[in-house]
Structure 1
Amino acid sequence: MTTPLTVTRIAHASQLITLGDLRVLTDPWFTQNATYYPGEPVVRTVETLGPLNALVISHEHYDHCDLDALVAGGFDLSTPLFGPGTVTALAATKGFTNLHTIEAWETARVGDLTVTATPGKHGVHEVTFVIAAHGRTVFFGGDSLHIPELDQIPERFDHIDLAILPVNGLCIRPAGLRQVVMDAEQAADLTAVLKPTLAVPHHYAFHSGFLGDRMITKGDRDPRHYTDALGRIAPEINTRIVLPGVEVTVP
């Protein structure tokens, strides 16, 4: 019997993934500030998350690593937290006690859950993840660029059931429009390599506010550009744009 696998988009790159009886939260973000706006409803509060088996964080940027909100919301700081050294060092200063530092191609296990850090590239140090338990496997792309090392994932892992990828091609205006996140076409190319049962885009609704969008960041906020690209590049792969709060079951 296949273990149930579901994903619920909370907002941005914050996803609640269940693999059977295990519940994993990725890249938490529950608040906003003057230049970071989710651009979509944040459908859960920290207080309504419920018990989690793990917290997986790709890098320390505020919109992916909102540790202050977790602490303020009474989150259980003994929950296993997986991330690169930049994340676990920060988490230790916030009082988190069950820290698992993993860098690219390193693996850590807690009970039936296995988390492998896979390569990533962003404006700061980042890893992506392969999350596995009970025969189900999820790739979580954080907000990385598509780098060649990610194409090695199919050589190292069995079939990917669910791939969650960023798609907004975020560029930094003061840095000459330097791109720091994969765009729709690049995400579709990576999806074609991974060959998941289901692919879900994320990291597209975010914006920097009226002035910030014109002075700081530039990004594509339409996830249909990704699904259209995937339809051209790998039409055999199922994809779905998921609204916040909707639970999706992966076949």
Structure 2
Amino acid sequence: MKRLLLVLLLGILAVTAYTFCRSWSLPDFPDSPQYREGKFRNGLPRPPMSLRDGVQIWWNFLVSKPKGTVPERPIPVLPLDRAALDAAPDRSLFRIGHSTLLLKLRGQYWLTDPVFSERASPVQWAGPARFHAPPISIDDLPPIAGVILSHNHYDHLDHDAVLKLDGKTARFIAPLGVGDQLIAWGIDAAKVEQLDWWQSTEAAGLRLTATPAQHFSGRGLGDGDRSLWASWVLQDDDFRLFFSGDTGYFDGFKAIGEKYGPFDLTMIETGAYDPRWAFVHMQPEQTLQAHLDLRGKWLLPIHNGTFDLALHRWEQPFERITALAAEHGVEVTTPRMGEALDMAAPVHGTRWWQDVVTR
């Protein structure tokens, strides 16, 4: 069994490398302050990981995962259709899964990091599988004013979803380099806009700003950190939203909060964390602090519930962040997949995840 898993891992790596080498050329971005010596960089250098540590992490994922990382019962999903979306008030949010959010702003629809495929992987025969189906298919989605992308990892940038969304999406807004990947896949360059940190654009009455994050990028063996990663600020007049993408905790949250806060809602990653990779994925305590740094009013924890990407129990992100929020008087909302959330007047929601696990 272990040999089979090792063969599968090597197969995934080989396919990833082959796919990458055939897919696109790597542009340079010498004008970006984040781009140095052929790669994008965080403000602080990422701590090195030894080959032994990397192999040990992969080994734990493949053959020695602890119990509870997979939900024991079906995850509740509220099916969505076009009628329900159109009937929802403006400034509504629908959680599709992981970091995929459908936002209704000024009567138009926006998607963040749309992942609709069965697996967050370069291949669909191996890799992290979904725990639940999306509450709505791409075919049933209304026209999309814009797709907002945070970075190019497989659990945030879904090749098949991008191609299916192309016919109903007006714009794709991405960090530097990620847009080049879309163009290489066949998306019309006129529909793609790429931003560096602190750059802004106007679209469909909204102002969108790419803001710093502390992470990394890569989809193959030769493109590590050759495209940028970002968080996003969305402004609808005086209504302000923050979408974290993937990030470790860093002082950039305070800078973003000082420049653009307070935020009516922060959508911040809380899941797939581990002390060994805290530099690029926050612990729940850090998620809470980031929300406070941003001067957020309500917190929506994302990057959880959909894929098995870590070694903690499946429900742990929900339990930890809600307990921390209660302890510090922070308002946290936890809608079910497909459940409508009024971003202008959020509610806490139910502890739906407790019905999915047994003790």
**TM-score interval, smaller chain:** 0.7 to 0.9
Is 1:248 the counterpart of 2:341? The answer is yes
Please report how far the alpha carbon of residue 220 of structure 1 lies from its aligned counterpart in structure 2 after TM superposition: 5.4
Higher normalized helix content (fraction of residues):
2
**Secondary structure at 1:228 match in 2:** helix
Structure 1's unaligned 5+ residue stretches are none
Unaligned stretches of 5+ residues in structure 2: 1-88, 218-227, 346-359
Q: Which residue number in structure 2 is paired with residue 143 of structure 1?
A: 246
Contact 1:10 1:42 in 2 (8 A): yes
Q: Tell me which residue corresponds to 2:196.
A: 103
Runs of 4+ in structure 1 off by over 3 angstroms are none
Kept in 2: contact 1:46–1:70 (CA 8 A): no
Q: Are 2:207 and 1:114 aligned?
A: yes
Secondary structure at 1:16 match in 2: strand
* 2:334 pairs with 1:231: no
Q: Which residue number in structure 2 is paired with residue 177 of structure 1?
A: 276
Structure 1 SS opposite 2:109: strand
- The answer to whether the 8 Å contact 2:261/2:294 transfers is no
Instruction: Give the number of the structure whose residues are more often strand, by fraction.
Output: 1
Q: Which moved more, 1:162-171 or 1:217-226?
A: 217-226
Q: Secondary structure at the match of 1:177?
A: helix
Contact 1:56–1:81 under 8 Å retained in 2: yes
Per the alignment, residue 20 of structure 2 pairs with none
Shift of 1:149: 0.9
Q: What is aligned with 1:9?
A: 95
Match of 1:86 in 2: 177
Deviations 1:164-204 (A, max 9, x none): 01111534xxxx93333112111011112223232111112
- CA 1:37–1:19 in structure 2 vs 1: closer, same or farther (change >3 Å)? same
Assess if the C-alpha contact under 8 Å between 2:100 and 2:115 holds in 1.
yes
* Distance verdict in 2 for CA 1:128–1:42, change over 3 Å: same
The yes-or-no answer on 1:194 pairing with 2:328 is no
Match of 2:3 in 1: none
State the partner residue of 2:232.
Answer: 129
Q: Which has the larger radius of gyration?
A: 2
Q: Is the 8 Å Cα contact of residues 299 and 333 (structure 2) preserved in structure 1?
A: yes
TM-score, normalised with respect to structure 1: 0.85
Take 1:87 and 1:56, find their aligned partners in 2: how far apart are those partners? Answer: 11
Instruction: State which drifts further: 141-150 or 190-199.
Output: 190-199
User: Does the aligned pair in 1 maintain the 2:166–2:187 contact within 8 Å?
Assistant: no
Describe the shift of the 1:219–1:203 C-alpha distance in structure 2 as closer, same or farther (beyond 3 A).
farther
Q: Is the 8 A contact 2:109 2:142 kept in 1?
A: no
- Report the alpha carbon displacement of residue 144 of structure 1 after superposing the two structures with TM: 1.4
TM-fit CA distance, 1:219: 4.3
CA offsets per residue over residues 97-142 of structure 1, 9 Å max, x none? 2111112111111241211011112232410000112432110011
Q: CA deviation at 1:40?
A: 3.4
Instruction: Specify which of 155, 164, 180 is matched with residue 267 of structure 2.
Output: 164
Task: Provide the rounded CA distance (Å) in 1 between the counterparts of 2:205 and 2:298.
Answer: 23
Equivalent residue, structure 1, for 2:36: none
Deviation at 1:67, TM superposition (A): 3.0
Distance 1:74-1:55 versus aligned 2 partners, 3 A rule? closer
Distance 1:169 1:189, change over 3 A: farther
Contact 2:241 2:266 in 1 (8 A): yes
- Amino acid corresponding to residue 12 of structure 1 in structure 2: H
Number of equivalences: 235
Q: CA deviation at 1:74?
A: 5.5
User: Residue 11 and residue 129 in structure 1: after superposition, are their counterparts in 2 closer, same or farther (change >3 A)?
Assistant: same
Looking at structure 2, the residues matched to 57 and 100 of structure 1 have their Cα atoms a distance apart, in angstroms, of 11
Identical positions, percent: 21
Q: CA deviation at 1:51?
A: 0.6
Q: How far apart are 1:207 and its partner, in Å?
A: 3.8
- How far apart are 1:23 and its partner, in Å? 1.4
1:38–1:206 CA contact under 8 A, matched in 2: yes
